[in-house]
């Protein structure tokens, strides 16, 4: 990350309020949490840019719309929240026709309807640049305490859902937000910390470690890698650093880990894989090989970049 990026993020953190009247959780998690008439309501926003988050030479407008909505739904999953409603803003290229705009809307609606999250409004404009889509979403805690990034404890077992890697092969356009799985997990065990894998396992585990002021060891051979990533030149790097898997990464106590591994889980439940443990530290992540030898994890996950 460049010096300019660090300076901008530091300035942004000073501008955003972490807490305030009726705000119980501000910047630093996947969603902010506020109290509305005695109920916990969560809010998030995501901006997707053509050329950064999708390539229209390889994706249809419908796929882009689906992804835009699914990204915000995945933020709900990261905190075990129940999606409530969404608004969308879009800057559409003047070169588009009405059929393309309709396809974009159909993709947004497809993801929203799947999770009973109505699209209740928004704004559109046209311009001479590339497509920009912004989704702002509200969610409810609904009897499940929001899961933060900052609750990991030494001795916790680290789990991931599903399989990792493959976003560069197109999986980032058709992923399933783990909303239902997150809420079921939160009702079955005590989730200490959780995040959705948007920046890659290496980067997002780093967010949990930094937020919780702990370290982590992950087992190289335990990482579940998808078939398309196994066909790449570096499957481990794909799983750790490509990003946009949108699976869940979470930590639980050793006792709850036993329940997840040996308890009765419905056949329809997503694959759960223990990949390591939380240790004492200050954000350091180690990679352990089959011999038990550890070394610092060098992959950093996807990072936002701009020109200097």
Domain-located, residue 244: yes
| Highest averaged pLDDT of the listed ranges 64-73, 265-274, 293-302 | 64-73
CATH code for position 205: 3.90.650.10
- Residues 176 and 105 placed together within one structural domain of the fold: no
- Rounded distance between C-alpha atoms, residue 293 and residue 215, angstroms: 16
- Residues 169 and 258 placed together within one structural domain of the fold: yes
Domain-located, residue 240: yes
- Residues 174 and 100 placed together within one structural domain of the fold: no
Residue 151 above 60 pLDDT?
A: yes
- Rounded distance between C-alpha atoms, residue 174 and residue 33, angstroms: 28
Residue 50 above 60 pLDDT?
A: yes
Which residue among 140, 166, 189 closes a domain?
140
- Residues 66 and 34 placed together within one structural domain of the fold: yes
Which residue among 140, 165, 195 closes a domain?
140
- Residues 162 and 88 placed together within one structural domain of the fold: no
Instruction: Look at the chain and report how many structural domains it folds into.
Output: 2
What pLDDT score was predicted for residue 150?
94
Please compute the mean of the pLDDT values over residues 24-49 and round it to a whole number: 89
pLDDT band at 265; cut points 50, 70, 90: low
| Per-residue pLDDT tens digits for 182-193 | 999 999 999 999
| Per-residue pLDDT tens digits for 206-263 | 999 999 999 999 999 999 999 999 999 999 999 999 999 999 999 999 999 999 988 6
What pLDDT score was predicted for residue 306?
44
pLDDT band at 268; cut points 50, 70, 90: low
Please compute the mean of the pLDDT values over residues 85-113 and round it to a whole number: 97
% of the chain with per-residue pLDDT over 90: 81
- Residues 58 and 170 placed together within one structural domain of the fold: no
Mean per-residue pLDDT over the chain, rounded: 90
- Rounded distance between C-alpha atoms, residue 282 and residue 285, angstroms: 9
Which residue among 107, 140, 173 closes a domain?
140
Residue 276 above 50 pLDDT?
A: yes
Please compute the mean of the pLDDT values over residues 31-39 and round it to a whole number: 92
Please compute the mean of the pLDDT values over residues 48-70 and round it to a whole number: 96
- Residues 292 and 162 placed together within one structural domain of the fold: yes
What pLDDT score was predicted for residue 169?
84
Domain-located, residue 148: no
- Residues 62 and 17 placed together within one structural domain of the fold: yes
- Rounded distance between C-alpha atoms, residue 60 and residue 300, angstroms: 30
What pLDDT score was predicted for residue 1?
47
- Residues 276 and 238 placed together within one structural domain of the fold: yes
Domain-located, residue 146: no
Domain-located, residue 283: yes
CATH code for position 118: 3.30.1330.10
- Residues 116 and 187 placed together within one structural domain of the fold: no
- Residues 121 and 199 placed together within one structural domain of the fold: no
pTM of the model: 0.91
Domain-located, residue 266: yes
Domain-located, residue 205: yes
- Residues 178 and 265 placed together within one structural domain of the fold: yes
What pLDDT score was predicted for residue 300?
76
Domain-located, residue 147: no
Decide: 298 and 228 in contact? Cβ < 8 Å.
no
Please compute the mean of the pLDDT values over residues 95-116 and round it to a whole number: 97
CB atoms within 10 A of CB 264: 5
The CA-atom distances, in angstroms, between 145 and each of 79, 80, 177, 292 are 8, 8, 19, 37
Expressed in percent and rounded to 5, the helix, strand and coil fractions of the chain are 30, 30, 40
% of the chain with per-residue pLDDT over 70: 87
Boundaries of domain holding 42: 3-140
| Highest averaged pLDDT of the listed ranges 17-31, 138-152, 250-264 | 138-152
């Amino acid at each position: 990350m460049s010096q300019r990026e660090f300076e901008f993020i530091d300035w942004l953190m000073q501008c955003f309020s972490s807490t305030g009247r009726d705000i119980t959780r501000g910047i630093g998690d996947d969603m902010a949490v506020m109290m509305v008439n005695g109920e916990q309501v969560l809010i998030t926003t995501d901006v997707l840019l053509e050329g950064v988050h999708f390539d229209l030479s390889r994706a249809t407008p419908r796929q882009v719309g689906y992804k835009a909505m699914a990204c915000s739904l995945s933020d709900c999953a990261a905190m075990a929240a129940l999606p409530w409603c969404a608004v969308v803003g879009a800057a559409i290229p003047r070169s588009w026709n009405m059929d393309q705009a309709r396809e974009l809307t159909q993709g947004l609606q497809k993801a929203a309807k799947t999770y009973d999250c109505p699209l209740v409004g928004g704004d559109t404009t046209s311009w001479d640049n590339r497509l920009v889509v912004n989704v702002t979403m509200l969610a409810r805690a609904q009897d499940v305490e929001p899961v933060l990034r900052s609750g990991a404890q030494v001795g916790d077992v680290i789990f991931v859902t599903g399989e990792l890697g493959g976003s560069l092969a197109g999986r980032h356009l058709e992923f399933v937000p783990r909303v239902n799985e997150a809420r079921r997990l939160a009702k079955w065990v005590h989730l200490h910390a959780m995040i959705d894998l948007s920046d890659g396992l290496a980067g997002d585990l780093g967010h949990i470690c930094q937020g919780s002021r702990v370290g982590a060891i992950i087992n190289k051979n335990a990482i579940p890698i998808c078939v398309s990533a196994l066909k790449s030149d570096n499957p481990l790097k794909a799983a750790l650093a490509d990003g946009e898997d949108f699976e869940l990464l979470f930590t639980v106590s050793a006792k709850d880990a036993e329940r997840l591994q040996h308890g009765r889980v419905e056949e329809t439940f997503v694959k759960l894989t223990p990949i390591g443990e939380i240790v004492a530290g200050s954000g350091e992540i180690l990679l352990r090989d089959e011999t038990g030898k550890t070394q610092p994890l060098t992959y950093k996950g996807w990072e936002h970049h701009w020109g200097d």
